Amino acid sequence: MNLNLDISFNRTIEQLILNELRSAHHSNEPITDASLVHRTSKTRMLGAVGKVAALPAFPSVRGLVELGFVRGCDLGVLSRDKFVPLRRSEEQILVAVANPWNYRADEYCAAHFPNADLLKIVTLASEISGIIENASSSSGPSRADLEAVEVDEYSGDIPDFAVSRQHEEPIAQLVAAMVSDAIKQRASDIHVKTDKLSCHYCFRIDGDLGTHVEVPLKLRNRIDAFLLNLMRLAPEERSKRPGISGRFTASYYGRPVGIRYERHRTFRGYHVTMRLLDKAHFEARLGMGTLAFDEGTLFALEKALAIPSGIIVMSGPTGSGKSTTVNAMLRQLNRPEDNILTLENPVEDEIEGVTHCDLRDSTEFKPMIASFMRSDPDVIFMGEVRDRESAELAIEAAITGHKVLTTIHTPSAAQIIERFQQLGMERWKIAQTLKAACAQRLVKLLCPVCKDRHEGVGEHEMRLFQLPPEWAERVVYKQNKNGCPECQGRGYVGRTAILEILPISPALGDAMSKGDLTPYELEQRVRRDTGLPSLRENGLKLLREGRTDLEALRKVLDMTVPG
Ligand SMILES: [Zn+2]
C-alpha cells in the first residue's frame, strides 16, 4: 500500500496509521484501505502519522527553520534519511522527520550535538527536501549539489553508470550543475542553443525564459556527446536524423527527476530542449495547491466526473497545465474496481493503479484505442483530440458507455463544441456525449514579499481591458521589476491554475442537438443559470485578491474582451 507520503513505513506501522484514519472516518459505509487512502489529503495523513507516533505533526515547517544552521549539517545524509535539524535554541535541537520510526535522525543528532535535547516533530517529506534544497547554496550549484546529481539509467537494459567517476570530468560537472540548478529553481525546461559566436543555456521558469548562461563554444560538441551518452543512443541514431528524442533520469538529493530530451539541427549546430518531469510538481490533486479552484467550479467538475459515461474535455494552449489537471482527475477517479487506460504522448505522471500507454507515433492512435475498447475499460484518457479520427474515436467510446477524458487546443470552453463541429462531428453526437467543456490557464503569482501597491487601475488599462468603473478606485498590486531575494529577482513566485467549466446538462444537450442554441448562447445560459465564473472572471478575482497583476493575466488571457 502506498500512503501517498513519499516514504514507506513497515507493514505494522502502516496498519496502525490506517486504523487511525478509519477511526476518524465518520461513515458507516464499508471502505477499502485503498479508497480510504485515496480520500485522505496529505495533511490529514500526516496528522494520523503524528498521532500514531505521539509526536506533533506540522504540514509546513519552513517558518521554523534557520537556514544557516541547516547549512552546517551534512545535506547528503539529511536528504537520504529524510530529516532536517531545523534550529538550535539553548540546549534543544528542533528536528523535523518524515518517518518517525527511522532512528537515523536520533543517531545523527546524538553524534553531532551530544549535549542537546532532541525535540522531534513530523512533517511531509516534500517539506524536508524543500528545506534541504533551499539550504544548499543559492547562487549556482555548489560542489555538494554537483555531487548530488547522479545520473541513473532510465531503462533496465542500460548498464550501471559510473557516477562519481563521471563527475570528476569537467563536462559531466557542467551538465550536472546545469541540471541541478534547473531543478532547484523549479524550471520546467532547459534550453541549450548554439549561434554563430556562442553557446548558451537558459531555463524556463513559470512560463518565462530566464537569463542566458554562456558556455565556451569549443565545449558545444562535448556537451552534446555527453548528453547523448547518458541516453545510450546508438551512433546511427545520432547522426542522420534531423530530430533526436530521448530520456534520462537525474537523481537530485535522492529524488529521481525524469528528463525528456529533444534535439533538432540548426544552422549553427543544434538546439536541445530538456523538459524536467519533476515528480515534486506532480501528484497534484483537485482542490489543493495549484488546483485550488473556487468552490462552484470544483463542484461542477466533480459532478461531471461522477457521470458514468461521456466526454470531459480540457482545453488550453501548450503549457497551460492541462495534463496536470487531467492527471488530478484520474487520481480522483482511480479506484481498484475501475480499469483506467491512458494513451499519452509522452507519459509524464504515472499514477499507481492506472495503466499508462505511450503513443510512439500518430499511426498507432487508432489501433491502440481499438485495442483499449476490447480491454474492458471504465475510463479512457486520450491524450489529445487533434483530427477527425481522434474526435470520432472519443465520441464512439463515450456512446458505447465509457468515461472519456481528453484535451484539445481551443482558447475557451465554448469553442470546444465548435472545434468538434469543425472536425466533422454531428451536433447531436456532441450534445449526447459531451458532459463538460473546460478551459485552463496558468497565471503567474506576485511575490508576496516585494509586490508593489497601486491605488486604482490606470485610465489606459481601464479602457484597454474594459474594466468596470470600480477598478479605478480599487487597490491593485503589480510586479516589482527588481524583485527581491525571495523571488530571485523575478517579482513573481510560482503559478496557479484558473479553470472555466461549462457543464452540459441533459436539457442543454437537448437544446443544442435541436439546433436551438449556438455554442455562444449555450455559454451565456450556463453562466446565467449556474453563476460559474469565466476565465476572465477567475483572473480578475486573483487581481482583486492582490495575488497577480494585469500584466500576468494578459499574457495568458485575451483580457480585451469583456464577459
Ligand atoms: Zn520578491
Q: What are the pLDDT digits (tens) for 198-218?
A: 889 999 988 888 888 888 887
Q: How many angstroms is it from 187 CA to the middle of ligand 1?
A: 17
Q: Give the pLDDT confidence of 307-330 residue by residue, as tens digits.
A: 999 999 999 998 888 988 999 999
Q: How far is CA 111 from CA 73, 106, 108, 115, 120, in A?
A: 12, 9, 5, 10, 16
Q: How many angstroms is it from 480 CA to the middle of ligand 1?
A: 7
Q: How many angstroms is it from 190 CA to the middle of ligand 1?
A: 23
Q: Give the pLDDT confidence of 229-280 residue by residue, as tens digits.
A: 888 776 666 666 778 888 888 887 767 788 888 988 888 888 999 998 866 5
Q: Which residues pair with 122 in a beta bridge?
A: 57, 97
Q: How many angstroms is it from 439 CA to the middle of ligand 1?
A: 29
Report whether pLDDT(162) > 60. Answer: no
Q: How many angstroms is it from 83 CA to the middle of ligand 1?
A: 28
| Percent of the chain predicted with pLDDT > 90 | 42
Report whether pLDDT(305) > 80. Answer: yes
Q: Of 110 and 27, which is predicted with more confidence?
A: 110
Q: Of 512 and 233, which is predicted with more confidence?
A: 512
d(CA 230, CA 175): 11
d(CA 415, CA 345): 24
Report whether pLDDT(400) > 50. Answer: yes
d(CA 312, CA 417): 12
The pTM for the full model equals: 0.68
- Tell the burial category of 194 from Cβ atoms under 10 Å away from its Cβ (0-12, 13-18, 19+): buried
What are the residues whose beta carbons fall under 8 Å from the beta carbon of 143, sequence distance 6 or more? none
Q: Which three cell numbers stand for residue 43?
A: 495533511
Q: How many angstroms is it from 53 CA to the middle of ligand 1?
A: 38
What are the residues whose beta carbons fall under 8 Å from the beta carbon of 173, sequence distance 6 or more? 146, 167
Residue 164 — pLDDT band, cuts 50, 70, 90? Answer: very low
pLDDT of residue 237: 66
Q: Give the pLDDT confidence of 103-128 residue by residue, as tens digits.
A: 889 989 888 888 889 999 999 988 89
Q: Reduced to 3 states, what is the DSSP secondary structure of residue 412?
A: coil
pLDDT of residue 431: 92
Q: How many angstroms is it from 485 CA to the middle of ligand 1?
A: 6
Q: Of 220 and 322, which is predicted with more confidence?
A: 322
Q: How many residues does the chain have?
A: 563
Report whether pLDDT(221) > 90. Answer: no
Report whether pLDDT(295) > 80. Answer: yes
pLDDT of residue 287: 84
Report whether pLDDT(141) > 60. Answer: no
Report whether pLDDT(333) > 90. Answer: yes
Taking alpha carbons only, the member of 281, 390, 388 closest to residue 327 is 281
Q: How many angstroms is it from 446 CA to the middle of ligand 1?
A: 8
Which structural domains are found in the chain, ordered by start?
A: 11-132 (3.30.300.160), 136-280 (3.30.450.90), 289-556 (3.40.50.300)
CA atoms within 13 A on the CB side of 317: 9
Q: How many angstroms is it from 495 CA to the middle of ligand 1?
A: 14
Q: How many angstroms is it from 478 CA to the middle of ligand 1?
A: 11
